[in-house]
Amino acid sequence: MRVTVVGTGYVGLVTGACLAQVGNQVLCIDIDAQKIAKLQGGEIPIYEPDLPEIVRGGLDGGRLSFGTDIAAGLAHGEFIFIAVGTPPDEDGSADLRHVLGVAADIGRYLQEPRIIVNKSTVPVGTAVKVHNTIQEELARRGMAIPFTVVSNPEFLKEGAAVADFMKPDRIIIGTDDEAAAQRMRDLYAPFNRNHDRLLVMDPASAELTKYAANCLLATKISFMNELAGLAELLGADIEKVRVGIGSDPRIGFEFIYPGCGYGGSCFPKDVRALQSTARELGYAAPLIQAVETVNNAQKRLLEKKVVAELGEDLHQRHIALWGLAFKPNTDDMREAPSRTLIDGLLRRGASIRAFDPAAGNEARRIYGNQERFSVCHDPYEACEEADALVICTEWQIFRSPDFVSLKNRMRQPLLIDGRNLYDPRLPRQVGFRYLAIGRP
């Protein structure tokens, strides 16, 4: 099939590359000519396992191409995927300017019937807005070209996006058009062979499903973090509690790991967007508001632990930081807990030496002008003469360190574990003061 994807950000690039991987002819469109030139040369602008290989494979095989001409994209594809960003507005609502801008372009250049697939994360009712925007532009041209708008939300985890697309848990199709639903079923058939994962529903339900999923996962994280704070006061070990409740099949073990808060491009934005939708409707949503409140407090917890150990004034203090990305297997630092910690420590006068296997360049871009912040090429190098080591991201490389070597490098043996990576016995038996989340 012939597919056009408008937007070559995280979602658009993964979508286009994976659709090309199974044999479709895919053209990815973006207004950023510099990015398109890099992609045409096989240069991938984001860190995502397996993505570079399938992009280059698609380019080499002639199944995947990139361009900047939206009119050419509309001429190419039967399916036109909208996969542009929906950044949060000042009030927390999703900013639909880019989505509706693409819709307007579609209306200006549409020549033949097309299925318009909204892949961006958008509020309920956006499918109607996209349809109306396209229709208005067609009316200005005096054209009556049939088209269908389908909601097809993405459920991709950063760090596992290719695997999630190729072997999805579910494929949500939001449309009232049976013919469009069948064509979408045909498009997704290569990803739906083991058993039927494709769910067809109305567009509003499809749009709400995406927000509901992310907000529920964020709720589980905030609940465990709030429980961890209580466990510390009670002298209980939240890790034992986690195993105890996770053993209940009604609860399970997914997303009940306590830590220093969630971040990234999805959970924070989507929680706020759903709050905004509730406010617009005059509907009180105290639980969703509490999820964000708890998370904001949790992201400040590591700074509080550092201050409790080293004092309010951190001038002349050197802090080692392991982990900058908001989660492993990505270089994404958007709303990462590490940024809250770094900003707080720098305000207090601390010097920070950080290490992350993937996000070093992103950290240099964000903090390049800060003299008291540097990124190291080795985790142990970051710990030289450090007054404390703080862990923000649970990368595999951090899971089994040489605690003796760490202790010998550091000025004082203080380890603050924001992801509960270690059995407390191991660092303590070599002389570390070990502090974690929700552990006595």
CA distance linking residue 110 with residue 21, whole number of Å: 27
Q: Give how far Cα 252 sits from Cα of 229, 327, 353, Å.
A: 21, 21, 37
3-state helix, strand, coil in the chain (%, to 5): 45, 15, 40
Q: Which two tokens stand for residue 439?
A: 């552990």
pLDDT of res. 237: 97
pLDDT of res. 243: 97
Nearest to 199 by CA among 215, 187, 181: 181
CA distance linking residue 48 with residue 60, whole number of Å: 19
What is the Rg, in whole angstroms, of the alpha carbon atoms belonging to the chain? 24
pLDDT of res. 316: 95
Nearest to 400 by CA among 409, 391, 412: 391
**Active site residue: 18, 28, 260, 266, which one?**
266
Is 215 catalytic? The answer is: no
User: Tens digits of per-residue pLDDT, 179-209?
Assistant: 999 999 999 999 998 889 999 999 999 999 9
3-state secondary structure of 318: strand
Q: What is the pTM of this model?
A: 0.93
Planar angle of CA 196, 197, 202, nearest 5 degrees: 110
Write the DSSP symbol of residue 398. G
Locate tokens 């049976």: which residue? Answer: 178
pLDDT tens track, the chain, 440 positions? 999 999 999 999 999 999 999 999 999 999 999 999 999 999 999 999 999 999 999 999 999 999 999 999 999 999 999 999 998 887 888 899 999 999 999 999 999 999 999 999 999 999 999 999 999 999 999 999 999 999 999 999 999 999 999 999 999 999 999 999 999 999 999 999 888 999 999 999 999 999 999 999 999 999 999 999 999 999 999 999 999 999 999 999 999 999 999 999 899 999 999 999 999 999 999 999 999 999 999 999 999 999 999 999 999 999 999 999 999 999 999 999 999 999 999 999 999 999 999 999 999 999 988 999 999 999 999 999 999 999 999 999 999 999 999 999 999 999 999 999 999 999 999 999 999 999 98
Q: Give the burial class of 169: count Cβ atoms within 10 A of its Cβ; 0-12 exposed, 13-18 middle, 19 or more buried.
A: exposed
pLDDT of res. 89: 82
Q: Are 433 and 309 in contact (CB under 8 A)?
A: yes
Give me the phi and psi of 425, to 5 degrees please: -60, -35
Residues 6+ apart with CB under 8 A from 142: none
CA distance linking residue 241 with residue 357, whole number of Å: 31
pLDDT of res. 88: 83
3-state secondary structure of 272: helix
pLDDT of res. 91: 80
Read out DSSP for 86-138? --B-TTS-B--HHHHHHHHHHHHH--S-EEEEE-S---TTHHHHHHHHHHHHH
pLDDT of res. 171: 97
Element spanning 404, H or E: helix 403-409
